[in-house]
A and B are shown apart, each in its own frame.
Chain A
């Protein structure tokens, strides 16, 4: 009888398993050139409803104490799931965390999480940002209570887990389910590796050879990380964060941080655990000439008493050319991971393949003209606030600007103009909202550059300005990424990126729009 029960049981189990397997494959497929994932899927089989619930939770600000910060606030898809433009991530009440938010992709291949690897299971990770006072500052029991009282969540949990019970395990596993689906393996490099067509240029292939020769074993394998903790010689005077040491308490782990992947670097700037390097050029410069010797600096970076990795200017260019092939554009736009999974506005879809640089968008449409004139007047208010370190004024003006841009009536505009406006507004609105929601000038400056850039793009493309407009670039502002702003005068002395503490920011470049 025993044997029969076992047989019946295993047959049933096998059926169940194969059923789960099929559903799972649709949601998570191991790319053919990737190693086996380490996440134990059998403990948390992915289901469409589980992944959908995880996504809803990921983008829900209910997870934070004052309902303003979601996981997606610091992990934005277009930024490779990092926080766009922020050296150190910003959480609740604009508090700064001590590190750069890590990119989220290919998490099924990680055994521990965070820059210091303090969390040893993906399912346990979310508790950390949720309860960190500088991130979401909430408690897990409170979040579960909020979910239980919500109108929508009990039904979503029931769909995902069979009953409407909301508990720690289900909450965490749903978040993991969504994050596990975030596989990035469709860069040009990946397609080339899988022989799916598209070749790497000679320069790119030389860059790959250099990466394999000079950047391995740390950035090794198709995931471009060995997942170890290393001290990469960043000067410690700037930041006393001891990284891995705080977890292991071993002296040899002082100032060590996880080796990050080299994938999607185009989206995830700035770089390093504290975001101190703004560009890939700066990163390579650090490895060739900026290594600081210390008790724990990685031996690979100090060979025969010689600091750094020997790299010629040409080699650096080739490496950077290769790194560009690791950018997975489709991942950064995949609607499965987007905050809004609604299809793009029909106006936009129609012009999806338009090369906007080649289209003449000049217009006399009175609504567009008057709106952009008004927008500039609010923009001066934001800039004035930043010039005088008055975050309140910037915030107030940004709110007015946001309200104006949001409510523009484009019914009289031509379809192509409408589409272009909506396209630019996706970014312009985002940055304006961020300037509006805080009174911290530091945070406002993180978004002011892109805000200026996109407002200028609208005015320039529609050619709506009556007076000349000057576009300033200050290459060293915003952590080396560069700061941009507009002005009506051609010899402006002030710099909204440094406010009252006027500092040198490199050669300021000015472009005129007459």
Chain B
């Protein structure tokens, strides 16, 4: 059987089938407003005037599609279309899409989080950054099977120390893919669409183009709902998570081609 696959593989790679392709790199820059995210040591202020720092930041980017002027799309193959951007790992903030067909592209879209099909998939489909025994370890609710799409933790002196709380920490673990079966539950899957503007992105055979994308994580608590650390310091798989997901749907912006 291996031989058979090898033959099929050879055929696919032969010039007859080959398509001219290049690669596209996306460099994510995590920011709070206009300031770079620096874990722990940097203080920021939210829209409500509460100061805070960030101690943990990760989010999934998946199901990438590149848009052409005529409205057609290049869809990144499903199994290669899951990425986890991790603040502590700079290399994870730069993702490269290989085998992108040559041509001009005018925009990009992707899912913030993990689509419902993969969220419900069997364990053999959960590899790489989706491996909860590997890179995805901090991004999964074991008791309520599902990935955490965006996870941000930090501290704010405005958070009151009541009950069992010994430190003024906030925990925003946002996920929920809509549930299984006939009974639908909260669906916090959001799609980000970025327009490249006048500057078209040209993919040439065997060449790489790098684009910069800003992720303004202050959007988690700024937008339709201005979230207070003092009032909502812990948001996980509850109804309030929808407000944060609505907010962060617009946290990505296109910077331009990187020289």
Contact = CB atoms under 8 A, between A and B. Distances in A.
Interface of A: 5, 8-9, 12, 40, 43, 111-112, 114, 118-121, 123-124, 127-128, 130-132, 139-141, 143-144, 167-169, 171-173, 246-250
Interface in B158-192: 179-181, 183, 185-186
B143 interface: yes
Central interface residue in B1, B133, B179, by most chain A CB within 10 Å: B133
A121 B145 contact: yes
B133 A144 contact: yes
A168 B179 CA distance: 23
Contact of B185 (A111, A119, A144, A247): A247
Given A168-B126, A247-B185, A250-B183, A139 B137 contact: yes
B41 interface: no
A28 B126 CA distance: 26
Interface in B139-161: 140, 142-145
B124 interface: yes
A43 B143 contact: no
A12 B1 contact: yes
Nearest to B144: A118
Contact of B133 (A171, A173, A248): A171
A43 B137 contact: no
B258 to A, nearest CB: 33
B117 interface: no
Contact of A118 (B145, B183, B186): B145
Contacts of A114: 143
Contacts of B131: 167-168
B4 to A, nearest CB: 7
A246 B144 CA distance: 9
Contact of A43 (B120, B122, B134, B181): B122
Nearest to A128: B142
B180 A112 contact: yes
Contacts of B1: 9, 12
A169 B134 contact: no
A40 B134 contact: no
Contacts of B145: 118-121, 124
B239 interface: yes
Nearest to B121: A121
Contact of B142 (A123, A131, A247): A131
A249 B122 contact: no
B10 to A, nearest CB: 14
Nearest to A118: B144
